[in-house]
Each structure stands twice: as structure tokens, then as C-alpha cells.
Structure 1
Amino acid sequence: MPRTPSLLLPIALLIAGTAQADSAVPASTLAYTQLADPAREAEAKALMETVRCLVCQGQSIADSDADMAGEMRALVRQRIAAGERPAQVRAWLIERYGDYVTYDPPLSWVTAPLWIAPLLLLGLGALLARRLFKRRAT
């Protein structure tokens, strides 16, 4: 019986792994379907633009094609359609997924470095530029 090259096994495992990465669960109906009321859909869309996709991390759930982003869009639309205000839905999402889900995290002990670091880096850059220009002037 011919022996298979040892290279085929890792390739087969890679192919099998990527085939398992897709979700077998069908997308929620509201993940890609707009609400019938244009005003409510506008509220939902505006909120979805401010919520971060937890899978992509660089995109909002409105822009992401990830399965989780679709589920989050469906949750937002369901809650808006049920009469909740966008601020309530946003608070619920933050409670459920944490402050990271929002592009504008509130100031707290955990997020303080995110707010303070840009100011410190700007001050450090200004200090370095000042010293550099002083040396050249003399």
C-alpha cells in the first residue's frame, strides 16, 4: 500500500479547520433586514454606528460582516422595535458586553489610561520639540 507524504496530513487538517470556522447557525432575520418604521431604523442605524464589533474590533456592527455583529444588529433592532430608546439599548449593550463595546468608553479607573495617555504623549512630544528647537537656536 502506498504511503502518503507527511505533508498531506497538516494540509488536510488546515482545510478541515477552516471549514469548521463558519457558523452553521442561520443569521437572524433582523441582522440584514431593516425595520419597517424609517424613524426607528434611523435610530437603530445611528446606534449601530457607535457600537464596536467584538470580533473585528476595528469596525462598528453596522459595517461588520461577522456573525456576532449580525446578531448584535438584530438585538439592537429588536429592542428599538419594542420601543426602547437608543440610550437604553446602548446601556444594555455596555452592561452585557462591557465598556469595550462602545467607541466612547466612560471615564473610570479602568479606562483612565485610554483618556490620559494621548495627553501625556502630546505633552512629551511638545517637550521634546521644544528642547530640539532650543538646541538648534543656540
Structure 2
Amino acid sequence: MEKHEIDKLEPYLEKRNGFTWLPQSDTDYYQSEIAHNNLKLSQNKRDLMNISDYLFWSIGNFFLFFILGIICIILSVRVREHKRTKDYESTLKLSQRTLVMNIFTTIVGISFLVTMLALLINKSSTNF
């Protein structure tokens, strides 16, 4: 068998007594395919549950920088909704966008806070 043919059959190969075994009948192929598909589905379900929605960080950003914090909360809630629909790809994309938005909001919020504090301290020190 050529290399590319073995790669196509790899999901159907089974380990028995330390050796790779190729199923010999159509029934064996069918059972191997079912086992492989079930493994993929359970892995996607686990992966879907591991996708973070960053809701607590978004709530913190709401208090840090109100305007962008609202956007972060909306994105986090949308990630949770996509998790319920079990759509792995769109949930992952939206989660990554939420992460980027939370990072951006945190940086902008801290910069804004530091700038306002510096201006306040500068103004109060010139009054004396």
C-alpha cells in the first residue's frame, strides 16, 4: 500500500495487542467509522465547553471603561448563545474577537484612567 492510501485509512485502524490492525470486512469498517465519528463528536463537545466567553472580564471592563465595556458584554453573551447552538467554528471565532476586544478595552480604560489621574494631580498641584 502506498503512503497516501494508509493515511486515508488511519481513522479506521485499530490497535490490538500493540499492533495496528486493518479491519477485514465491511462491518468492521462501519463499526470503526462509527467509533471514529463518535470520538470526533465527543472531542468537539469537550472543545466547545473549553471555549471561554470572558464574561467576568467584560463586566470588569464595563466598570473600567463604560462605553467599550458594553460592547464586550454583548460579545460575551453572544459567545454563550453560540455555545448553546453547538456551532464550534463560529463560537471559536466570536470568542477570539471577544478576547481581542477585552484586551483593547482594558488597555484603553487603564490609559484613560491614568491620563485622568495625571491631569487631576497636575491641576491640584498648580492650585497650591
Same-fold call, TM cutoff 0.5: no
TM interval, short-chain normalised: 0.3 to 0.5
Greater strand share, structure number: 2
Structure (1 or 2) with the larger CA radius of gyration: 2
